[in-house]
Structure 1
Amino acid sequence: AHDGWAIASHIALSSLTALFPFLILLAALAGLFGTKSLADEASVLIFDAWPREVAKPIVNEVHRVLTEQRGGVLTLGALLALYFSSSGVESLRVGLNRAYGLREVRPWWLTRLESIGYVVCGAFAMLAFALLVVLGPLIWRKVINVAPGLEPLSLTVAIGRIGITAFLLLTVLVIAHKFVATGRRSVLAVVPGIAVTLLLWFLAGLGFGYYLDRFSNAYASTYGGLATAMVFLVFLYWLAAMFLFGGEINGTVIAARRVRLQARMQEKQARARGL
């Protein structure tokens, strides 16, 4: 009813076209702090949770884009990158509004400015987490030098990188469901859809990685030189469909709660009239 498959393809393509402008923006912001390695580390964080078979070819291209020298990147180039990367947020807004059965009433320029704000905040957050990942091992080595007895905990600290990636995913989903779609919902109201989305994403990562590991030639024989791009796009498509499915679950649960609340109110009013 909400054209979920069509909207999923829109989100997948918008995300693909928004990814590299977002990374260029990351590189520009990292340049302000005097280091380009932060942007490279941030891009690694983005793809840490992806299946290796999907992420590896894209990471190589991402590294090439981030290490390329650009003139005037902080002027027109950065503004264009900011605008085009915000299209990814706009596609999420369209999909979530459909899933929740809502209509956007705000003017387009206001929602676009809001999306740009999310992109800027997301870029700074990614750089902050990347800085944490870069400095974390250095700080831990200093701690080990001072207190060698803590060395057995090194594996736990290394696993913390996975925790950071998981936290980023969870934060993005909460912000998307709670704030990007029109209207406001409590965190508890969006938990069911987020939990289902994370579970489906995890299973999709395992399944898609296994499929590519066993049958990677299928894409190469079908799409030729475009196989890498198509694998990435198909994976994004499935992620988007699962994201929308989570929104549909939340929308259904919220609607059911609203119906129950209205029924209780009508029952109370009927009792009051009877008295």
Structure 2
Amino acid sequence: MKNRLVRYITHHRRYHQLIEWLKGRRINRRQASLYSVLLVLIGKIRKDELVDRGNAVAFNFTLSVFPLLIFIFTLIPFISAQIPGLEVNIMGFLEEVVPPDIWGQVAPTIQDIVSNQRSNLLSFGFLSAIYFAGSGILSLMRAFNAIYRTKEKRSYLRTRGVATVITFLLAGVLFVAIILIIVGQVVLDWLDNQNLLHDLLDGRITVWGIVALRFVVVFLIFQVAISFIYYLAPSIKERWHFFNWGSVFASLACIAVSFGFAYYVSSFGTYNRLYGSIGTLIALMIWFYLLGMILLIGFEINASIDKASRKDFDPKSNPAIG
């Protein structure tokens, strides 16, 4: 049955038209055609055991996220006096990003942490965040090296240092995102108080414009964060462009999966009824698993473009169907 379906597809006129169209599309002005990239990508996804690597990434992310969040949230009370509205905007931002059922469980704890200064927890959170968050990044680095078919050439200390640098960069991106959200809200409030929004545009266009602007900001946050990971994590000599097709795909997919999973959990999810409060942890791990798979597939796209761009690449050795 499968062979008959494959023969039908490969002998169809539309199939050959699609192949010719894909061969005519070029990626980043390089030698690789979209057809060659898809051939490599399909073959690599089959061989690279992404499900197992996604499970490992999700497990390490689950271990690393709590110390990292403790450190970041414990730092907030020390700087909230200099940035009015910081605490409120952080809680609002997290409420939009985190799936509702998960947010309902963790919101009181986060609210308590960001409202009270705890210097002893800050020092503990700093040390544990560096170690565990670095371990989460290390799992991604190992997965990237396996996908790219390269060995880790950096020493353990240098590898751990790169993981720590990526951790700090991601934390920095998060802080910049929070500041942008605060500044944006201040600007919108000022425009609204001056009645400039209603004078320039009608209400419906204004609402859609604000929604679009928020989406662009969220996309840029994901894009910069993922680009840092793809640029620094793998042990390769020739670096890709900082912004690349893999990071664009991963950014859009992470946003779509986050909002889609949040909608599913709030509308159809029954894990909380079955497992009680531990269901929140299960939902969190599923979310991390989906994000981890997206990061791996985005890296697969970059690796496929790189392989298909090589002069010795032979499309016949990478069959798309079969």
Calculate the TM-score normalised by the size of structure 2.
Answer: 0.67
Gaps of 5+ in 2: 1-46, 315-322
* Aligned residue in 2 for 1:33: 79
User: How far apart are the structure 2 equivalents of 1:20 and 1:174?
Assistant: 23
Deviation at 1:9, TM superposition (A): 1.3
Q: Is the 8 A contact 1:26 1:39 kept in 2?
A: no
* Aligned residue in 2 for 1:164: 217
Structure 1 residues 162 and 56: CA distance shift in structure 2, 3 A: farther
Deviation at 1:207, TM superposition (A): 5.0
* Aligned residue in 1 for 2:67: 21
Q: Is the 8 A contact 2:307 2:313 kept in 1?
A: no
User: How far apart are the structure 2 equivalents of 1:133 and 1:189?
Assistant: 23
User: How far apart are the structure 2 equivalents of 1:226 and 1:80?
Assistant: 23
Secondary structure of 2:280 counterpart: helix
Q: Is 1:253 the counterpart of 2:305 in the alignment?
A: yes
* Aligned residue in 2 for 1:186: 240
Amino acid at match of 1:127: F
Deviation at 1:11, TM superposition (A): 1.0
Q: Is the 8 A contact 1:18 1:85 kept in 2?
A: yes
User: How far apart are the structure 2 equivalents of 1:132 and 1:188?
Assistant: 22
Q: Is the 8 A contact 1:197 1:246 kept in 2?
A: yes
Deviation at 1:74, TM superposition (A): 4.3
Deviation at 1:147, TM superposition (A): 6.9
Q: Deviations over 1:136-190 (max 9, x none)?
A: 2223333455573346575324542332111111112222222211124322894
Structure 1 residues 129 and 197: CA distance shift in structure 2, 3 A: closer
* Aligned residue in 1 for 2:57: 11
Structure 1 residues 263 and 133: CA distance shift in structure 2, 3 A: closer
Structure (1 or 2) with the greater helix fraction: 1
Q: How does 1:226-245 map to 2 (within 5 A)?
A: 226-245=278-297
Secondary structure of 1:48 counterpart: helix
Q: How does 1:119-158 map to 2 (within 5 A)?
A: 119-145=167-193, 148=196, 149-150=199-200, 152=202, 154-155=206-207, 156-157=209-210
Amino acid at match of 1:185: R
Structure 1 residues 34 and 6: CA distance shift in structure 2, 3 A: same
- Kindly tell me the number of residue pairs found equivalent between the two proteins: 260
* Aligned residue in 2 for 1:271: none
Deviation at 1:85, TM superposition (A): 2.0
Secondary structure of 2:269 counterpart: helix
User: How far apart are the structure 1 equivalents of 2:141 and 2:184?
Assistant: 35
Q: Deviations over 1:83-125 (max 9, x none)?
A: 2222222222122112222211111111211221222232233
Calculate the TM-score normalised by the size of structure 1.
Answer: 0.77
* Aligned residue in 1 for 2:11: none
Q: How does 1:66-215 map to 2 (within 5 A)?
A: 66-67=114-115, 69-145=117-193, 148=196, 149-150=199-200, 152=202, 154-155=206-207, 156-157=209-210, 159-183=212-236, 184-187=238-241, 190-191=244-245, 193-205=246-258, 207-215=260-268
Structure 1 residues 66 and 33: CA distance shift in structure 2, 3 A: closer
Secondary structure of 1:262 counterpart: coil
Query: Any runs of at least 4 consecutive aligned residues in structure 1 with deviations exceeding 6 A, and if so which?
Result: none
Q: Is the 8 A contact 1:18 1:88 kept in 2?
A: yes
User: How far apart are the structure 2 equivalents of 1:69 and 1:119?
Assistant: 23
Cα RMSD for the two superposed structures: 3.2
Structure 1 residues 140 and 108: CA distance shift in structure 2, 3 A: same
User: How far apart are the structure 2 equivalents of 1:255 and 1:40?
Assistant: 47
Gaps of 5+ in 1: 265-275
